[in-house]
Structure 1
Amino acid sequence: MASAANGPGLPRIFLPSGRTPIKPEFPNGLPPLPDIQSEQLRLQVFTHRSFFARPTHIFEDMPDDPSPDNEMLEHLGDTVLNLVVTGLLREVYPCLRVGPSTKIRALIVGNPTLASISVQYRLPERLRMHPAQAITLQASTNIQADLFESFVGGVYLDRGLEVTKTWLHPLFRPYIVEAYRIVRVQHGLPPDPDPPYPLLHSAYRHVSLTPPMRGSGVATPDNSGIPASSWSIPPPPRIPGNVGHLSLFNQHMQQQGKFVEWVYTDSEGEGTKTTPIWVVRAMCEGECLGRGRGSTKKAARNEAAKEGLVHLGIYISQPEGFYAAA
């Protein structure tokens, strides 16, 4: 069964186990299968090796008698799938690091997910196999996944990479988004990322940042051409986009001449050996200013810094739709 993962304030998300497929929603159904125009290739795509029962210990087929089953196409399709999904993953999430990217791709191209797609396309119903093994093979997750890879390999050989990508990109984009959210939760993060640092127009929606032009004839107390009422609220601070909560918190503490001690505590068995969860408190003069957790020490400190800024009375406005922990 799938395991449930949820942290404080996070929605309950079920993480697929090794045998549970990802199942995003397709309101309009899956993208249509492309046609394999070569009849011989189309027949080979759906031919299981049990149909001809050729020996499996042979090192190489004779040039004039290649194996007529779909194992070669399956092998080729597996490679094409990895190429296309990796490229699409970089397109959708260009800043994703290699470790999380590998986990996301593994969820997408794993047998459970590919078997689920194969069944939705009803590919196993067209499989040619030995009649004595028909029921077992058609119900096998591995065979269903292999058949989808074989079909991908057949489309690639028959129509080329561009046609293959035209089909697979809209098919796998929802899977990538869903797998991305799952892996974020596995790393101790909320399923949806924080948006970039708040833009000025988001933080100051109620203030006009475009004053009248000089010489417009509007009288002002300082003769600047800018009505005093336009600046009844101070202009927004110019905060560099690359300054995060941690940097901002450290700046304010340094300005006050205070020292912050970062105290790490046990994560109570959360995370894994390869993806630990760090829990930290920002301590100053015996007082806890904020707590945080994350997949790295820096990420945990940044979360604690968010609470620390609030404790200092510094509030950073977020755009509408921003994910807020309950």
Structure 2
Amino acid sequence: MGNWWARIRELWGHPREKPEQPASHGLSPLSPQASLPEEDSLSVLEKRLGWSFRNRSLLIEALTHRSYINEHPNEGIHDNERLEFLGDAVLQLVVSTDLFRRFPEWSEGRLTELRTALIRGERLALWAEALELGRWLRLGKGEAEGARTRPSVLADAFEALLGALYLDGGLPAVERLMDRLLPEAIDQALRSLEWHDPKGRLQHWSQAVRGKTPVYRVVAVEGPPHAARFTVQVLIGDEVVGEGQGASKREATREAARNALIRLGIENGGETES
């Protein structure tokens, strides 16, 4: 895989060395009235990205929607779909690496669940909005102006931008941008996953209110191996607070957590004594 990435860079003719770039923290807003010549405008975007492109054509390609190419077939430039393809792979690699290092005790399943929440289209569109990427998109006149804020268009352009960053500056260029975007997104995704997962909700409440982490134990397995039914209890300290059944340990565990939430009255905002 490493040789494949290196070959891509060689085909584009970009050296491996990367010039020093000034650190950039945070994303400052732009004035909606700003109207700059293209070169100056791209410099503004580069400043927001924290990277100055050696090959500006890569950046322009990343911003070019297929509707523009349909109306300007003789410009000699591609639309951003190929860069989008590459950017998707780069994004998964960068996010996977970040999560692998950030959560050393997590299982593959938990890492995959969080990565999925971070690379879905809605999140990519939010990142594109944070960069105000829609302002630089090159759209055909036949495309509705609303495409500049259309989530699917923004998400695709964001992936294409990552592909362009990778080809121009390698992983460091992509990581520099994602280091600024990922922390807040990870916090939001974790809160969302905890809320929708009964186990996460119960653990969050139990640690905050009782200072203890719930423990799950299988108390019964019934039926033949190919159709087993599990019974799981969840305990907080020595107290059994919920019990659940399911066709797998995972299903029974989630059901036990869900029943504990109901028994404890957490869904109503606090604990009820039974």
Query: Into which bin does the TM-score normalised by the smaller protein fall?
Result: 0.5 to 0.7
Report the counterpart of residue 37 of structure 1 in structure 2.
54
After TM superposition, give the deviation of residue 194 of structure 1 in Å: 7.7
After TM superposition, give the deviation of residue 173 of structure 1 in Å: 2.1
Report the counterpart of residue 180 of structure 1 in structure 2.
190
Note closer, same or farther for the CA distance 1:293–1:172 as it changes in structure 2 (3 Å cut).
Answer: farther
Report the counterpart of residue 161 of structure 2 in structure 1.
151
Note closer, same or farther for the CA distance 1:245–1:117 as it changes in structure 2 (3 Å cut).
Answer: closer
Alignment of 1:275-314 (within 5 A): 280=233, 289-292=239-242, 296=250
The answer to whether the Cα contact below 8 Å between 1:36 and 1:158 also exists between their aligned partners in 2 is: yes
Output the amino acid matched with 1:291: V
- Counterpart Cα distance in 2 of 1:108 and 1:279: 31
- Counterpart Cα distance in 1 of 2:254 and 2:104: 19
- Spell out, residue by residue over 1:250-295, the C-alpha distance to the aligned partner (whole angstroms, 9 max, x if none): 9xxxxxxxxxx9489xxxxxxxxxxxxx86378xxxxx95223688
After TM superposition, give the deviation of residue 174 of structure 1 in Å: 2.1
- Spell out, residue by residue over 1:26-72, the C-alpha distance to the aligned partner (whole angstroms, 9 max, x if none): xx744841232312112111111111218xxxxxxxxxx98621111
After TM superposition, give the deviation of residue 301 of structure 1 in Å: 8.0
The answer to whether the Cα contact below 8 Å between 2:128 and 2:154 also exists between their aligned partners in 1 is: yes
- Counterpart Cα distance in 1 of 2:61 and 2:254: 51
Report the counterpart of residue 120 of structure 2 in structure 1.
110
- Spell out, residue by residue over 1:203-244, the C-alpha distance to the aligned partner (whole angstroms, 9 max, x if none): 9xxxxxxxxxxxxxxxxxxxxxxxxxxxxxxxxxxxxxxxx8
Three-state SS of the structure 2 residue aligned to 1:74 is: helix
Three-state SS of the structure 1 residue aligned to 2:240 is: strand
Note closer, same or farther for the CA distance 1:245–1:86 as it changes in structure 2 (3 Å cut).
Answer: closer
The answer to whether the Cα contact below 8 Å between 2:61 and 2:77 also exists between their aligned partners in 1 is: no
Note closer, same or farther for the CA distance 1:137–1:281 as it changes in structure 2 (3 Å cut).
Answer: closer
Output the amino acid matched with 1:41: L
Alignment of 1:311-322 (within 5 A): none
The answer to whether the Cα contact below 8 Å between 2:206 and 2:214 also exists between their aligned partners in 1 is: no
Report the counterpart of residue 84 of structure 1 in structure 2.
94
Report the counterpart of residue 132 of structure 1 in structure 2.
142
Query: Percent identity among equivalent residues?
Result: 26
After TM superposition, give the deviation of residue 138 of structure 1 in Å: 1.5
The CA RMSD measured in Å over matched residues stands at 4.0
More helix, by proportion: 2
Unaligned runs of 5+ residues in structure 1 are 1-27, 55-64, 196-202, 204-243, 251-260, 265-277, 283-287, 305-324
Query: In terms of Rg, which structure is larger?
Result: 1
After TM superposition, give the deviation of residue 303 of structure 1 in Å: 12
Unaligned runs of 5+ residues in structure 2 are 1-24, 29-47, 222-230, 260-269
The answer to whether the Cα contact below 8 Å between 2:232 and 2:253 also exists between their aligned partners in 1 is: no
- Counterpart Cα distance in 1 of 2:144 and 2:52: 25
Counterpart among 87, 111, 121 of residue 101 in structure 1: 111
Note closer, same or farther for the CA distance 1:293–1:175 as it changes in structure 2 (3 Å cut).
Answer: farther
- Counterpart Cα distance in 2 of 1:30 and 1:194: 37
Output the amino acid matched with 1:47: T
Three-state SS of the structure 1 residue aligned to 2:54 is: coil
- Counterpart Cα distance in 1 of 2:234 and 2:57: 65
Note closer, same or farther for the CA distance 1:246–1:29 as it changes in structure 2 (3 Å cut).
Answer: closer
Report the counterpart of residue 170 of structure 1 in structure 2.
180
Three-state SS of the structure 2 residue aligned to 1:160 is: helix
- Counterpart Cα distance in 2 of 1:302 and 1:138: 43
After TM superposition, give the deviation of residue 82 of structure 1 in Å: 0.6
Note closer, same or farther for the CA distance 1:67–1:93 as it changes in structure 2 (3 Å cut).
Answer: same
Question: TM-score, normalized by length of structure 1?
Answer: 0.49
- Counterpart Cα distance in 2 of 1:120 and 1:143: 14
Three-state SS of the structure 2 residue aligned to 1:163 is: helix
Report the counterpart of residue 50 of structure 1 in structure 2.
67
After TM superposition, give the deviation of residue 187 of structure 1 in Å: 2.6
